[in-house]
Amino acid sequence: MAPKVMTPALLDQLAERFKALGEPARLQLLSALRQREQTVSQLVQSTGLGQANVSKHLQLLCSAGFIARRRAGIFAFYTLADDGVFALCDLMCGRIERSHREQRAALKLAR
């Protein structure tokens, strides 16, 4: 995977998915769904975001393949499509931590 030379189409798909994760509100939704499957109202409640806003973000995450929708009567339950998303977040968090460490080290040296 991630062949050395990537076609424009692959670049677009990659970018589309990274962009889907490039929004705090959506990461918050994913993080909330990590606990358990939830309805839209529950997510509105637990995130403090507006209903229409949550609905839109969920559509986007859905079409990017990160979450799935299940209809039950009046409710729409959203759930993680798989928890591979968090492997991505783990990697990225690792980068963040490392850069923080390096910043601190640089400050020490400069002192």
Do 92 and 40 contact (CB within 8 A), yes or no? no
Tell me how long the chain is: 111
16 near a copy of itself, rule: CB under 8 A: yes
Cα R_g (the chain), whole angstroms = 18
Residue 37 vs 105, nearer CB to DNA: 37
106 near a copy of itself, rule: CB under 8 A: no
With CB under 5 to 8 Å by kind, the binding choice for 69 among a copy of itself, DNA, none is DNA
Do 25 and 49 contact (CB within 8 A), yes or no? yes
Q: Which of 36, 50, 59, 65 binds a copy of itself (CB under 8 A)?
A: 65
